[in-house]
Chain A
Amino acid sequence: MTKNLNPRGDARVRRSVSEIAQNGSDSAPVPEPATWSAADNQERDWILEHAAGDRQAFTQLVGAYRAPVYSYLVRSGIPAADRDDLFQEVFIRVHRAAGSYNPSHPVAPWLFTIVANAVRNQLRARRVRELIFREAPAVEPLDCGERGDERIEAEQNRAWLEHEIQRLPQAQREALLLTYLKRMPRKQIAAALGIPLNTLKTNLRRARLELTRRLGKRNRPSSGKVKR
Chain B
Amino acid sequence: MNKCKQIQDRLAASGPAALREDTHAQEHVVECEACYRFLENLDQVEQGLASLPTLDAPDDVVARLLERDELFEPVTPTTSARTPRRRLRFLVWGGGGLVSASLLLALFVFRPERVVELARVDTPPAVSSFAEDRESGALTPEQEAALRAWGYLADGDESDSESRRLDSGALSQEQQDQLPTLRGFKTLPDGPNDSLVESMQKALPTNDQVGEKLTVTNGLDKTGEYDGRAVGYAELKVHGSRDREFKALVGDVTDVDAITQRTGEINLNSIEEVEENYEFTDKFEFTDLVAAEGTATYFGRNRLEESGASTTKEKAKQDLAKNEPVGDDQRGGGKLSNKVHDNREVGQHRASDRPQAIAVEDSLAGAVAFINDRKMTEGINFSEATGYWSNSYLPGDPLLRLLHARLASGLAGFDVRRLHAAVRPTVQPLDAPQHAALSVQLQSDRGATEGPARTLIQIGIKGIEHQGGRRSAMNLAIVLHVEDDTPVEVATGMRAIADALNAARRPGDRFRLIISGEPGGLAVDADHFRHGELLVALSRLFDAEDDLEGPEWTLAEALNKAIGQVAMDDDPSATLGTSAVLVVTGRELDSDEDQLNALAHRSAVAGIPVGVIAVGEDADPLQLERLTVSGQGRFGVLLRPADAESLIDRELAAVSRAVARAVRLRIRLAPGVELVNVIGSERLNERAADRVRQSEQSLDLRLARNLGITADRGMDEDGIQIVIPNFYAADEHVILLDVVAPGAGPLVDVTARFKDLVYLKNGTVRASLSLDRGIQTQGPAELNVLKNYLAHELSETLRIAGSALKRNDRDTAESLLGHHERLLAGLTSLLPGLRNDRDVVSDIALLASYREALGRPDLTDEQRNWLADSLRYAAGARLHTPQAIERNPS
Contacts and interface: CB of A to CB of B under 8 A. Distances in A.
A95 B75 contact: yes
Contacts of B473: none
Nearest to B20: A21
A70 B58 CA distance: 9
A53 B44 contact: no
Interface stretch (B113-121, B253-261, B741-749): B113-121
Contact of B54 (A51, A67, A93, A146): A67
A17 B641 CA distance: 27
**Which residue, of B37, B53, B71, B73, has the highest number of chain A Cβ atoms within 10 A?**
B71
A22 B20 contact: yes
B13 A205 contact: yes
A121 B623 CA distance: 45
B66 A212 contact: no
A105 interface: no
Contacts of B641: 217
A198 to B, nearest CB: 11
A216 B34 CA distance: 10
A69 interface: yes
A40 B760 CA distance: 60
Contact of A66 (B13, B41, B56, B541): B56
B156 to A, nearest CB: 20
Interface string A110-136: 000000011001101100111111111
**Which residue, of B43, B484, B543, has the highest number of chain A Cβ atoms within 10 A?**
B43
B20 A124 contact: no
Interface string B483-507: 1111111011000000000000000
A7 B17 CA distance: 21
A100 B78 contact: yes
**Which residue, of B15, B19, B75, has the highest number of chain A Cβ atoms within 10 A?**
B75
A38 interface: no
A131 B108 CA distance: 10
Contacts of A211: 45, 49
Interface in A149-166: 157-158, 161-162
Contacts of B41: 212-213, 215-216, 219
Interface in B67-119: 68, 70-78, 100, 104, 107-108, 115, 117-119
Contacts of A71: 52, 54-56
Given A15-B40, A70-B55, A99-B78, A91 B65 contact: yes
**Which residue, of A58, A88, A212, A219, has the highest number of chain B Cβ atoms within 10 A?**
A212
Contacts of A5: 44-45, 48
How extensive is the interface on chain A, given as a class?
35 or more
A122 B125 CA distance: 12
B514 interface: no
B37 A28 contact: no
Contacts of B697: none
B71 A131 contact: no
Contacts of B18: 21
A132 B43 contact: no
Contacts of A15: 40
B71 A58 contact: yes
B46 A84 contact: no
Interface stretch (B191-199, B244-252, B415-423): B415-423
Contacts of A216: 37-38, 41
B642 A228 contact: no
Interface string A8-25: 000000011110111011
Interface string A33-54: 0000000000000000011010
Contact of B16 (A7, A21, A219, A226): A21
B46 A226 contact: no
B62 A128 contact: no
A17 to B, nearest CB: 5
Interface of B: prevailing SS: helix
B385 interface: no
Nearest to B129: A125
A136 B12 contact: no
Interface string B538-551: 00011111011000
Interface in B843-874: 845
B54 A68 contact: yes
**Which residue, of B53, B54, B57, has the highest number of chain A Cβ atoms within 10 A?**
B57
A228 B547 contact: yes
A142 B426 CA distance: 42
A147 interface: no
B16 A20 contact: yes
A68 B29 CA distance: 37
B513 to A, nearest CB: 15
A141 B94 CA distance: 37
Contacts of B74: 53
A127 to B, nearest CB: 9
A201 interface: yes
Interface in B432-450: none
A148 interface: no
A125 B119 contact: yes
A104 interface: no
Contacts of A199: none
A22 B21 CA distance: 9
A70 B65 CA distance: 13
B9 interface: yes
Contact of A134 (B53, B417, B487, B543): B417
A25 B75 contact: no
Interface of B: 8-9, 12-20, 26, 29-30, 36-58, 61-62, 64-66, 68, 70-78, 100, 104, 107-108, 115, 117-122, 415-418, 421-422, 482-489, 491-492, 517-518, 541-545, 547-548, 641-642, 845
20 contacts: A3-B47, A17-B36, A21-B17, A24-B42, A25-B46, A26-B15, A68-B54, A74-B55, A88-B61, A92-B65, A95-B73, A99-B78, A121-B121, A128-B118, A134-B415, A158-B52, A209-B12, A212-B38, A212-B42, A228-B542
Given A92-B68, A99-B78, A161-B52, 7 more contacts: A3-B43, A59-B66, A74-B55, A84-B57, A136-B417, A146-B53, A208-B13
Interface of A: 3-5, 7, 15-18, 20-22, 24-28, 50-51, 53, 55, 58-59, 62, 66-71, 74-75, 84, 87-88, 91-93, 95-96, 98-100, 117-118, 121-122, 124-125, 128-136, 142, 144-146, 157-158, 161-162, 176, 180-181, 201, 204-206, 208-209, 211-217, 219, 223-228
